[in-house]
């Protein structure tokens, strides 16, 4: 008798409105004219690769990017339907969509995604400070973060994660803790907190000596404060950068 093994799928959606100054992932800003062709090619590739996964049960699907939410709910649902048709997807599979707050404020669109099968949203909050967001090239505001969280809850999405970055240009420990407190106040089930990495070839790398970046010791202190602070609010650390309320750990991360 064959053993059915678990399988996690990562689906890369490379489109975004604008490239952040720290991003070294493959992404295509202003690539709207390629979205339909990319969606069709991705569906064809998923179909082609499906026989290789015949002995596996898909227990987690993660749509990352880029900005997957920027692709729109119709294209996203089309891709997910191909996965559900061609692969053995577990009934309780965790299906995550990364989203930027500016493209996740429509609760009806989020409801359509939930009905299609997406049951977890990871919002790229990054900071609660609009000035910090502008400095790193983010196109959303803190108000849009709040609106996106409200939209997700109205759409009955019950598993929400927020991404934050510490060690941003000119960021103090006090400011970072304010950002963290603002995120906790939104009551997500999960938080991912990443130390800023300056990658070669990015705009941030070119100006790293004048960007006012916190040093390694300062960033380490921010990390230690994060662990202690989130523990007080019931978020247990289960990975170096990931914190969750009991039972809300991301299966894809695990």
- Specify the higher pLDDT residue, 56 or 1: 56
77-126 per-position pLDDT tens digit:
999 999 999 999 999 999 999 999 999 999 999 999 999 999 999 999 99
Share of the chain above pLDDT 90, in %: 85
If you ran DSSP here, which 8-state letter would residue 101 be given? G
pLDDT value, residue 201: 83
Structure tokens at 47: 């179909």
E strand map for the chain? 5-13, 15-16, 28-29, 56-65, 89-99, 120-126, 160-166, 190-195, 236-237, 242-244
pLDDT value, residue 103: 93
Of 77, 63, 64, 170, give the one whose Cα is nearest residue 127. 170
Domain annotation for the chain: domains and CATH numbers: 5-244 (3.20.20.70)
- Gyration radius (Cα) of the chain, Å: 19
Tokens 């999960």 locate to 190
- State the Cα torsion 196-205-20-26 to the nearest 10°: -100
Q: How confident is the model at residue 1 (pLDDT cuts 50, 70, 90)?
A: very low
Structure tokens at 58: 């898909």
166-218 per-position pLDDT tens digit:
999 999 999 999 999 999 999 999 999 999 998 888 888 888 888 889 999 99
pLDDT value, residue 3: 60
């Amino acid at each position: 008798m064959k053993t059915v093994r678990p399988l996690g799928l990562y689906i890369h959606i490379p489109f975004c409105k604008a490239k952040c100054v720290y991003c070294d992932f493959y992404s295509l800003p202003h690539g709207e004219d390629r979205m339909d062709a990319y969606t069709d090619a991705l569906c064809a590739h998923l179909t082609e690769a499906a026989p290789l996964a015949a002995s596996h049960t898909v227990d987690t699907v993660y749509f990352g990017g880029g900005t997957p939410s920027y692709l729109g709910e119709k294209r996203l649902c089309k891709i997910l339907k191909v996965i559900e048709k061609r692969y053995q997807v577990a009934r309780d599979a965790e299906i995550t969509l990364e989203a930027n707050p500016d493209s996740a404020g429509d609760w009806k669109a989020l409801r359509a995604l939930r009905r299609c099968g997406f049951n977890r949203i990871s919002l790229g909050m990054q900071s609660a400070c609009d000035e910090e967001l502008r400095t790193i090239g983010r196109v959303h505001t803190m108000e849009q973060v709040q609106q996106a969280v409200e939209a997700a809850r109205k759409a009955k999405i019950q598993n929400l994660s927020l991404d934050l970055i510490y060690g941003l240009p000119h960021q103090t420990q006090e400011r970072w803790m304010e950002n963290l407190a603002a995120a906790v106040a939104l009551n997500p089930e999960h938080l991912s907190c990443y130390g800023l990495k300056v990658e070669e070839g990015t705009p941030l790398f070119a100006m790293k000596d004048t960007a006012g970046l916190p040093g390694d010791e300062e960033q380490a202190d921010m990390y230690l404060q994060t662990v202690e602070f989130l523990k007080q609010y019931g978020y247990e650390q289960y990975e170096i950068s990931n914190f969750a309320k009991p039972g809300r750990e991301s299966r894809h991360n695990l």
